[in-house]
Amino acid sequence: MNQETTFEGKIIIFTAPSGSGKTTIVRHLLKKYDFLGFSVSATSRKKREKEIDGKDYYFLKEEKFRKKVEEGAFVEWEEVYQGKYYGTLKSEIERIWSKGKHVVFDIEVKGATNIKKIFPDNSLAIFVRPPSISELRKRLLGRKTESDEMLKRRLARAEEEMTYENTFDKVLINDLLEVALEEAEQITESFCIK
């Protein structure tokens, strides 16, 4: 990280297959705790209807994303689907720490694994698990944002990602949202407020 960053806070990583509820949990924690700052990921995928550049993601054209990779601008990055890149810019972590806040990630499984390796001592990685693959399918269908082909790809990827759950510090089962939110609060408080 850059020499100018004096505060090196903690990092809380929420990861899960798409549709598990990690974004809902992260948004809840960000509303509740002002000591948290959200790490906005960069992506080369197209912006969805209600998404805002710089808030939901930094939307970059594929060529620009690859150029930033070559320049070493990312802490981690991954080609999640063919031609669809996701990553964490170094400047994003520095931005949050410069405000004296702890960083919260809502990130895919391989990216979470990479962040944990880079920051092993001051990070906590939480895997948000849906109660079942059939429930996950139901949630993804309920979004109405996926084509049949994309839904199949997401479910196949989710099954693979579920095999990683025991490689993270904690597993949070999101069956009943209210219970999951309460557990996420307890985990966050015990990690950040010591």
CA 74 – CA 68 distance, rounded (Å): 7
Confidence band for 5, pLDDT divided at 50, 70 and 90: very low
Task: Read off the pLDDT of residues 72-95 as tens digits, 9 standing for 90 and up.
Answer: 999 999 888 788 999 999 999 999
Q: Do 39 and 88 meet the contact criterion of CB atoms below 8 Å apart?
A: yes
pLDDT band at 62 (very low <50, low <70, confident <90, very high): very high
16-48 residue pLDDT tens:
887 788 999 999 999 999 999 999 999 999 998
Whether residue 8 is predicted with pLDDT greater than 80 in this model: the reply is no
Task: Tell me the average pLDDT across 147-175.
Answer: 84
- Residue 7's pLDDT band, with cuts at 50, 70 and 90, is low
The residue whose two tokens read 């996420």 is 184
Helices 133-143 & 148-162, crossing angle to 10 degrees?
Answer: 150
3-state SS record for 76-112: EEEEEECCEEEEEEHHHHHHHHHCCCEEEEEECHHHH
Considering the chain, what is the average pLDDT of its residues? Answer: 88
pTM for the whole structure:
0.83
pLDDT exceeds cutoff 80 at 101: yes
Over residues 108-137, mean pLDDT? 88
Between residues 140 and 35, the one the model is more confident about: 35
Options 3.40.50.300, 1.10.3720.10, 1.10.530.10, 3.40.250.10; CATH of 11-192: 3.40.50.300
Domain residue spans of the chain: 11-192
Distance from CA of residue 141 to its chain's centroid? Answer: 21
